[in-house]
Amino acid sequence: MVCGVIAYNTRSPLVLIRGTMKAKRYVHDILQPHVLPLMQRIPGSIFQQDNARPHTERVSQDCLSTVTTLPWPA
């Protein structure tokens, strides 16, 4: 799997994920090093993701508690 964040004027590097994506791995490999820093640099940003299990588990939701999110489907 390949993950990346795209915004109107910037983007994150693509991250190659091998193996199974679990919620804790999603937080440690995607959200904390890539999503949160990018979101903090863009005032008024809104994050959206689908309802894949790693995205909806408590550990992921807790990590995103400081970020404005758009529900899926929008």
One digit per residue, the tens of pLDDT, for the chain of length 74 reads 898 888 888 888 899 999 999 999 999 999 999 999 999 998 899 999 999 999 999 999 999 999 999 988 86
User: pTM, whole model, 2 decimals?
Assistant: 0.87
Residues 6+ positions from 9 with CB-CB distance below 8 Å:
none
3-state secondary structure the chain: CEECCECCCCECCCEECCCCCCHHHHHHHHHHHHHHHHHHHCCCCCEECCCCHHHHCHHHHHHCCCCCEECCCC
